[in-house]
Structure 1
Amino acid sequence: MEPITIADADVPALGFGTAGMDTDEERYDAISAALDAGYRHIDTAQMYDSESAVGAAIADSGLDREELFVTTKLDGGNRDHEAVVDSTYESLTRLDTDYVDLLLIHMPDQEPSHEETLDAMNELVSEDVVKHIGVSNFSVEETKNAIEHSSAPILTNQVEYSLAERQDDLLSFCIDQGVMLTAYSPIKLGDRLEDDVVQETADTHGKTPRQVAIRWLLQQPYVSTIPRSSNPEHVRENFDVFDFELTDEEMRRLFATEGDLDDALASKLGL
């Protein structure tokens, strides 16, 4: 897997999400299956209750910590300076690690100000317990303001992005600014899974519609994605996307399933 190199970080473009699982056993088994399948980018959050399972699965995997890229996110109630610092150290304990590769503001709509939160996150970067920082669910304007305020680069904005949920303005902005767009819910596609273009593309490559949807994301500049599943077969299926490549025409046709693609963005995408 070719990483996305951005802000002096090499980020595996395909990661594994850990939201929406009900029990520690389910989380541990899913994360272990992901690590066995080859995922080296694991995404968690304080609100997911999955940090301990991530830490345990990593410890039991036999992998060196340096082989992995681990992301977590601040809970909405942990946004003032003291809470950012204290809760991040608590996350490190649950994750059984000395550092996280990436710490995100999870949502843009909580107090106190983003500036106070970012100041504390930058302090953690200076202490080397957080390697990189970013945001999640931010608009273009909110991302721009975070970039302007933070002394450390904003590595990513993690948002819902898929064939059924385009983010054209944000993607264009991220490409211009050198910010990674991390796509969550990449296979939450609804009727897109049965779309003729998606199905025909899948048939052409001997792949599933879900694999086509993930590959479509990975071929876009500055885009990473973090599919999730507690089904080991689906975990492996979602990772099995590196032995085929979509043509430019296929990429354009897939974009067109959710409306026209602006010429300026098409140019930035090399399409």
Structure 2
Amino acid sequence: MTSLPNPGLGTMGLDTPEKATAVTTALELGYRHIDTAQIYENEQVVGDALAKADVPRDDISLATKVWADSLAYDDVLRTTRESLDRLGTDYADLLYVHRPIETYDPPETLRAFDELVDSSLVENVGVSNFTVEELDEAVDLLSAPLAAHQTEYHPLFQRPELLEHAREHGYDVVAYSPLAGGRVGEIDEVVAVADKHDTTPEAVSIAWLVAKGVCVIPKASSERHLRANMEATTLSLDVEDVEHLDSIENEVELFPE
């Protein structure tokens, strides 16, 4: 169980008004968690799509991320305001450090994030693509509680130590690429569990993550896939199903640093 609405919608690649109609459709179907980022270069069209949905802003958990070239103190403050302008909102529910590289300076970067919380421009602080050691440092430096860690997580890229750290410190894990970039249908263990439950490998991968208490943010552009991903969060797997997927040894990281 996560504090974030599950599933969310990942929006990487939804970078034109036509593609971003998926955001409006998702909200109308019941999604309440929308995830974007500065580096996606789609905050404007995502914001426009949000405005078209007949859903109160306060009902939506809207997340964006500060890219690695803008993590100096002043740049965090400046670019976050620019992101909010593009998104057409007064605040972000969740703001992430996208990757702890390039201009990331933990004391200064995280001080800026705390200031954004204090000024009510940001409700919650998150980080993304962190190691356990980097997570420990962030927890120590932040005045605001760490709300979420977003990381690649799917049957071919498992990091149970990240889940354990989240449980110990009380924040959410948000999984991007939960369908392994479309490869889950090629994983024998996932296919076997899907056949057992008369469902799809994609549904099994999402259900497996939800069973671990993870929030998923698969990207989808069609109403059919949006509905399927939402329905997958209600699929119940047996303990042995979860263990079967846990035992997968093949490893594929889709988005290495």
The match for 1:15 among 8, 29, 34 is: 8
Q: Distance in 2 between matches of 1:218 and 1:50?
A: 27
The match for 2:140 among 145, 148, 151 is: 148
Once the two structures are superposed, the pairs formed by residues 102-251 of structure 1 within 5 Å of their partners are 102-188=94-180, 192-221=184-213, 223-251=214-242
Q: CA deviation at 1:127?
A: 0.8
Q: Per residue, is there more strand in 1 or in 2?
A: 1
Gap regions ≥5 residues in structure 2: 251-257
Q: Distance in 2 between matches of 1:52 and 1:177?
A: 34
* Structure-2 change in CA distance of 1:189 and 1:72 (3 Å): closer
The one-letter code sitting in structure 1 at the alignment partner of 2:155 is: L
Q: CA deviation at 1:257?
A: 2.3
Structure 2 counterpart SS, 1:236: helix
Q: CA deviation at 1:24?
A: 3.3
Q: Which residue of 1 aligns with 2:60?
A: 68
The match for 1:4 among 2, 7, 29 is: 2
Q: Is the 8 A contact 1:24 1:50 kept in 2?
A: no
Structure 2 counterpart SS, 1:99: coil
Q: Is the 8 A contact 1:164 1:190 kept in 2?
A: no
Equivalent residue pairs, number: 250
* Structure-2 change in CA distance of 1:195 and 1:79 (3 Å): closer
Q: Which residue of 2 aligns with 1:51?
A: 43
Q: CA deviation at 1:16?
A: 0.5
Q: CA deviation at 1:184?
A: 0.5
TM-score (norm 2): 0.91
* Structure-2 change in CA distance of 1:72 and 1:240 (3 Å): same
Q: Which residue of 1 aligns with 2:254?
A: none
The one-letter code sitting in structure 1 at the alignment partner of 2:32 is: R
Q: Distance in 2 between matches of 1:95 and 1:62?
A: 16
* Structure-2 change in CA distance of 1:70 and 1:191 (3 Å): closer
Q: Which residue of 2 aligns with 1:24?
A: 17
The one-letter code sitting in structure 1 at the alignment partner of 2:5 is: P
Q: Deviations over 1:118-171 (max 9, x none)?
A: 101100100111000011111110011000000001111111000111012222
Q: CA deviation at 1:25?
A: 2.2
Instruction: Quote the sequence identity (%).
Output: 39
Q: Distance in 2 between matches of 1:155 and 1:49?
A: 24
Q: Which residue of 1 aligns with 2:255?
A: none
Q: Which residue of 2 aligns with 1:269?
A: none
TM-score (norm 1): 0.87
Q: CA deviation at 1:247?
A: 1.2
* Structure-2 change in CA distance of 1:168 and 1:134 (3 Å): same
* Structure-2 change in CA distance of 1:191 and 1:132 (3 Å): closer
Q: Is the 8 A contact 1:136 1:157 kept in 2?
A: yes
Structure 2 counterpart SS, 1:183: strand
| Alignment partner of 1:98 is 2:102 | no
Q: Is the 8 A contact 1:15 1:39 kept in 2?
A: yes
CA RMSD of aligned residues (A): 1.7
